[in-house]
Amino acid sequence: LQKILILLQVTLSVIVGKTLMVLFPNAMKKYILKMGEKSRMNRNPKFSYENWGPTFFSFRYLQFVLKVKWKRLEDEAFEGHPAPNTPVVTLGGEVCHVLDFMKDNRPLILNFGSCT
């Protein structure tokens, strides 16, 4: 049921976004560039709006957003239930899963920190 609701929400936003891009291309370009400023996409001079702007609200955009949102449904943790086995990337670039680090019946402790 959650996946169907996400599908409807994302599909509707893509349809509305694509329609607005056709009807008001300059206004949508400004809006997308403003979103790019928030995510810092605009800071790379080799990565111009023409490279990524037109991809917004495309079919591939729809597929990507759905994939990400559906994957996040699997990553939810609930008290009293087993922990999600989310994918992680090692320092060597290898993709594995959190529960791959479990050893026997010992508890697995995740420590998150920052070096900034």
Q: At residue 116, does pLDDT exceed 80?
A: no
Which residue in 80, 75, 79, 115 sits closest to 99, CA to CA?
75
Q: At residue 12, does pLDDT exceed 90?
A: yes
Q: The tokens 């509707």 sit on which residue?
A: 12
Structure confidence by residue, pLDDT tens digits, 40-61: 766 777 777 787 778 888 999 8
Query: What's the predicted TM-score (pTM) here?
Result: 0.56
Structure confidence by residue, pLDDT tens digits, 87-99: 888 888 888 888 8
How many whole angstroms separate alpha carbon 16 and alpha carbon 112? 39
User: Do residues 6 and 69 lie in contact, with contact meaning Cβ atoms separated by under 8 Å?
Assistant: yes
Which residue did the predictor score with more confidence, 33 or 16?
A: 16
Task: Give the tokens for residue 97.
Answer: 């899963």
What band does 39 get if pLDDT is binned at 50, 70 and 90? confident
Mean pLDDT in the chain?
Answer: 84
How many whole angstroms separate alpha carbon 27 and alpha carbon 29? 5
Among 10-14, 70-74, 102-106, where is mean pLDDT lowest? 70-74
